[in-house]
Amino acid sequence: MAPIILLPPALFHSSYKHGLSQKPFMASQHNPRGRRNNSDFTMLRQNTHPDTNCTFSKNRSQPETTKPSLKQFTHHKSQSLTKLNSHASTNESSQVPMRRSRSQQPKPRNEFAAILNKTHKTERDVRTSLTKLRGLILTEGLPDEHLPKSDHSLQANLRSTSVRSRVWKHFLGVYHISAKEYIRLIKKGKSAVYNKVKNDTFRTCTTNKTFKERVNDDMLSRVLNAFTWKMHLSGNDNITYVQGMNVLVAPFLFTMSEIDAFFSFATFIEMCCPLYVNSTVQGVHCGLELLDQCLEIVEPTLFSHLKSKNLSAKIYALPSVLTFCACTPPLEEVLKLWDFLFAYGVHLNILCVIAQLILMKDELLQSQSPMKLLRTMPDLKAKPVIDLTVELVHKIPDDLYDRLVRHPFDAEVAASILRGEE
C-alpha cells in the first residue's frame, strides 16, 4: 500500500503538490526488458479545507477555482504524451511515443508552447497539462534559450516570456505578481539582515561570466532584502536569511525578470522548503540524515566505504543539500536539474546528490582519502544525474520515500528524523 501524504495548507493550495504525488518514471531504457511496472505509487490525500483550489488559466488575473478531491495518480512506462494541435503540425488526437527517431521528433519549444498557451477551464485540464509538462521535462527537456545580456530598462520584457520562466512559475503555482507590493518592500529600506546579504551577494557565481552579464549584485540584494521584509511583515519570522540563500535566488534572477524572480523565489521558499531556511536549518540536517539512509539502501558498498573513512553526509554534502545543487557549476546544468526538481519535488535533490556520488563511485572506492574528491564535486551533468535519480526513486521503500517527500516542509516529520525515529 502506497503511503498517504498529508499536505500542509500552503501546499494544499498549489500546483506544486500535484508533482509530489507522482514518482518520475523514464522511458523503457530504464527497464531493458520493457516490462510494465505494477508497483503502487505515492497517493496524495488533500487536507479537508473549506477554501477552493486555485488553478491557472490563460487569463492569469482571474484564476479558476474548483473543489479539491481525492486523487490517486499512476504513471506507467507505456504512457504516451498527448500532443496538442494549437502549435503543432499533427492532429489533436495523435499520440507521441516516448521514444522516437530523431527525424520524427518535433521541436520541444512547440510542445511546451502548446501546453502553456492553452486555456484551462477545469481542474482536470490543469492536472493534465501539468502532467504533460512533467513528461516533457523528463523525456525532452526544456529547449536551450540564448537570452540576451541584461538591459535593465527592458529587463522585464526580455525575460518574462522565456519558456523556462513560464514553466517554473506554473510548477510553483505563481500566477499573480504585484509590482506595487515589490516596490513597497524595497522602499522599506535595509532589513535587519541587510549586512549579511551584502556580504554574500558579491560572491554569487563569480566565475560565471554569462551570469554576471545578466545579474548584478544590486538585483540580488534587492530581492533578498525584500524577501526578508516580506517574511517579517507577514509574521513568518521562522523563515529568515541564511548563508547560501544568495545561491538559491541566483537561478531565478538569471531566468526571470526581477519581479518574477522575487515572487517565484518567495513561493519556492515558503512552499517547497521552509525548513531549509529557518534559524536552525532543520530541513537541511534532515536531508543529510536521509541521504545517509538512502545511500545505505541503494549503494551499501559505497556507503560502507565512506563510513569507514568517518565520512557522513553532514561532512561532505552540506553545500549540495543546502543549495539544491546550485553550488555545483555550471549554472546551465543547474537550471536543467531544477526543471526536474520543480516538476517532481525538491525532495528529489537528496537522490540527485546520491546519483552524483554513484557516478564517481569508482574513484571514491579507490581513493584512500575520498574527502579530497568530495570537497569539490565534479561539474554537474544534469541528464545522467536525472536518469540515475529516476532509477533510485523506485529502490527507496515507501515509508522512507514518504519521509523524504515531507522533510523540507513538515516540522513533525523533520523532528522525528532528527530524533532517529523510524
pLDDT at 150: 56
Cα-flanking dihedrals φ and ψ of residue 98, to 5°? Answer: -65, -35
State pLDDT tens for residues 336-357.
Answer: 999 999 999 999 999 999 999 9
The domain that holds 234 is classified in CATH as: 1.10.8.270
Statement: residue 53 has pLDDT above 70: no
Cα–Cα distance, 250 to 332 (Å, whole number)? 12
Q: Is residue 144 part of a domain?
A: no
**Of 223, 239, 272, the domain-final residue:** 272
Same-domain status, 60 and 95: yes
pTM score, two decimals? Answer: 0.78
Same-domain status, 14 and 89: yes
Residue carrying the nine cell digits 479537508: 48
* Residue 331 near residue 254, CB atoms below 8 Å: yes
Same-domain status, 50 and 129: yes
Same-domain status, 96 and 210: no
Q: pLDDT band at 162, cuts 50/70/90?
A: confident
**How many independent structural domains does the chain possess?**
3
pLDDT at 142: 92
Same-domain status, 256 and 325: no
Lowest mean pLDDT among 75-84, 308-317, 326-335: 75-84
State pLDDT tens for residues 105-148.
Answer: 445 568 898 999 888 888 889 889 999 999 999 999 998 876 66
**Of 216, 247, 272, the domain-final residue:** 272
For 41, the domain range is 4-139
Q: Is residue 123 part of a domain?
A: yes
**Of 79, 113, 139, the domain-final residue:** 139
Greatest Cα-to-Cα distance within the chain, rounded to the nearest angstrom: 61
Same-domain status, 123 and 161: no
Cα-flanking dihedrals φ and ψ of residue 65, to 5°? Answer: -130, 135
Statement: residue 335 has pLDDT above 80: yes
Q: Is residue 414 part of a domain?
A: yes
Same-domain status, 244 and 292: no
pLDDT at 24: 85
Q: Is residue 145 part of a domain?
A: no
Average pLDDT rounded to a whole number, residues 82-99: 35
Instruction: Single out the residue of 142, 328, 173 nearest to residue 250, CA to CA.
Output: 328
- What DSSP letter does each residue of 121-150 carry, written as one string? -SHHHHHHHHHHHHHHHHHT-PPP--PPPP
Same-domain status, 300 and 391: yes
The domain that holds 364 is classified in CATH as: 1.10.472.80
Of 90 and 261, more confident = 261
Please give the grid coordinates belonging to residue 23: 514518482
Long-range contacts of residues 25-29, Cβ cutoff 8 Å, at least 24 apart: 25/75, 25/76, 25/77, 25/138, 25/390, 26/138, 26/139, 26/387, 26/390, 26/391, 27/77, 27/98, 27/99, 27/139, 28/77, 28/98, 28/99, 29/99
Q: Is residue 150 part of a domain?
A: no
